[in-house]
A and B are shown apart, each in its own frame.
Chain A
Amino acid sequence: MTAVTAPAPPARAQRPIPWTKLAWVTWRQHRVALAGVAVLLGGLAVYLLVMGLKIHSAYQAVLSCHPLTSAECLVVTRPFSNYHQTALDTGVLLLAIPALVGVFVGAPLLARELEAGTFRFAWTQGCGRLRWAAAKLSLLAITVTVAAGAFSLLFRWFYQPFLDARLDGVLAPQLFNLVGVDFAAWTLVAFSIGAIAGVLIRRTVPAMAASLAVWAGLALGTALFLRRHYQAPLVLKGSDPPGFYNNPPWVFGQWNTGPNGSVVSQQTIRNVLAHAPQSVQYSKNPNVATVYLSAHHYTQWWTYDPESRFWHFQLIEGGWLLALSLILLAATVWLVRRRAA
């Protein structure tokens, strides 16, 4: 029988492992994923910077051209208008970034450990699995959220000329997700969905697919159905919403009522307009048609949110996304804690 060396008394309170050490572990194990995010965001940032400078100089040219309706100015305006479409397409592309973070950083975080069995190594170290999971999740969550926040500031700068020119409103669904606090919040929630999918599904690729599906469903559902309910929309009767051209609001409902007050179809309106004089039918000013219709007891209705609600909506959406993310991350830590080998 071998001599026994008594272990240190287990009752003694232990200093926790310093965060810096866990930060090294997190960095060393996830540097490939983080480098992927850095390359993606860095590459796109360079593109936004280069394009942004071109857009800003094109906008300066437009602003300094007088009078704006002259033939010379039409030539000057054209590049700026062309950039607008490019910028819109770029925005659609950027909407995928949070999803990529969820799929490639969030989902593999725990799924890979569970799949490869390395959690049996990690969770039996002196650090303990609770602190291990909390450190990894919080450090990576903060990193991706801050990176996304910085990136969305750059996008805002890149897109600002089109907003200044009143070509779009920031409440528009294709822009709302990319500016303010929304982009960072959607990135954080994508990461959190990925993390909890990983610990629930325990296999990397299915967890990636699931987190993509859940995130996309949530983002789509929010943009299509939820966002308009943050505050009761304004209802407008008769003409276009105020400042439609000077301060574009987010219009998400438009319908017409007939002489007896009931809702009529677009086809009915087209039929009424078909009998209107040529001057009305081919007018470039949409108000002419509105006036003609109201003279025939047809009324146009609008529901919309004015642009002044932007920060209100941003904070509501950022707030519930942050709360959801924290709940998901806490649930992930709890699942790690009670997950049996």
Chain B
Amino acid sequence: MNVIETSGLGKRYGRTWALKDAALAIPAGYVVALVGPNGAGKTTLLHMSVGLTSPTTGQVTVLGGAPAGSPAALDHIAFVAQDAPLYQNLSVADMLHLTRNLNRRWDQQRAEARLNELRIPLNRKVGKLSGGQQAQLALTLAVARRPALLVLDEPLASLDPLARHDFMASLMAAVAEDGLSVVLSSHVIADLERVADYLIVLSHGRVQVAGEVEGLLAGHRMLTGPAAAADELAERFAVVHARRAGTQAHVLVRSHQAVEPVPSGWEASPVGLEELVLAYLREPGAGALPGPMAGVTQHAGIPA
């Protein structure tokens, strides 16, 4: 089952396409990192997935075929919007009561136990909580709905490093407990490196990379060798991005068998997730997508 599936999905605001021709099939059971620079279309994609925005073109279905935003979809998807907007003038207890009354599925015990663990007092006004506590409260409200899919838009953007760490720990605990699927966006890849097992890179409104992290890391290598020989390399490998430093060149290539022989004069090293993402973002023409087009052609672009 795919938790989010899109085809030809596009959204235009005025004359600008925030997202164009997005074809995605995100399988269930992953923690999906949706990364890309600001303005790449991450929020637009997430808003369309949870039914807040309707697409200009194409369609998006969730949880195995339900139209995004339909009652069935809303019941099983919890969304935490950017900056975790909550009612500032309500107490934490009232916020729980309100969320309980707005949903068919609700686990009050779970919510209270989590808040107790986090030392967030029930009688405090939401507006008096710290940014980190508000984010934690938003996450608690979302998890207590016992969703099949949890969608978070830039949950870490406004948090300090300690709060970030705590938030991610809470999130991963919930994932371990419920086995729910998670899609979270961020423009800071480092935050997601340890938790994400599925990666989507968006750039300029287009899906550039989509796939399991493990597979993506295994399918890419960094080759270091003489700059003069870099062009030769491009004939044998799909080069994502080449960086020259003096006489040396660092070339990120896609090679699907890690056992593929390293050409003489070159040294191969594995790549990290951040390195991989940055390389793709620097080369908007390059792409790595599942399905027939993956790895077939060099500099595989997005199907027009």
Contact = CB atoms under 8 A, between A and B. Distances in A.
A14 B75 contact: yes
Contact of B101 (A4, A14, A22, A340): A22
Name the residue in B63, B105, B149 with the highest tally of chain A Cβ atoms < 10 Å from its Cβ.
B63
Nearest to B87: A118
B74 interface: yes
B29 A126 contact: no
A295 interface: no
Contact of B148 (A7, A14, A122, A123): A7
Name the residue in B30, B101, B148, B179 with the highest tally of chain A Cβ atoms < 10 Å from its Cβ.
B101
Contacts of A11: 66, 72
Interface in B64-103: 64-66, 70-79, 81, 83, 85-88, 90, 94, 97-99, 101-103
A59 interface: no
A24 interface: yes
Interface residues of B, number: 53
B52 A340 contact: yes
A93 interface: no
* A-side interface size class: 35 or more
B85 A128 contact: no
A317 B278 CA distance: 67
Nearest to A340: B53
A28 B94 contact: yes
Given A15-B104, A117-B85, A338 B97 contact: no
Contact of B90 (A7, A28, A123): A28
Contacts of A17: 101-104
Given A117-B83, A120-B79, A3 B29 contact: yes
26 contacts: A1-B29, A2-B29, A2-B30, A2-B176, A4-B29, A5-B178, A6-B148, A7-B147, A10-B70, A10-B75, A17-B103, A21-B101, A21-B102, A24-B97, A28-B98, A29-B98, A116-B88, A117-B83, A118-B85, A125-B99, A126-B145, A127-B74, A128-B71, A340-B53, A341-B52, A341-B53
9 smallest beta-carbon distances between A and B, as pairs: A7-B148, A10-B72, A341-B52, A120-B81, A10-B66, A21-B101, A126-B103, A125-B102, A4-B29
Given A4-B29, A121-B138, A122-B102, 18 more contacts: A4-B179, A7-B147, A7-B148, A10-B64, A10-B65, A10-B70, A10-B76, A11-B66, A17-B103, A17-B104, A25-B101, A28-B90, A28-B94, A116-B85, A118-B85, A125-B102, A126-B102, A127-B103
Interface of B: 1, 28-31, 47, 50-54, 63-66, 70-79, 81, 83, 85-88, 90, 94, 97-99, 101-105, 138, 145, 147-149, 175-176, 178-181, 197
Interface of A: 1-8, 10-12, 14-15, 17, 21-22, 24-25, 28-29, 116-118, 120-128, 132, 338, 340-341
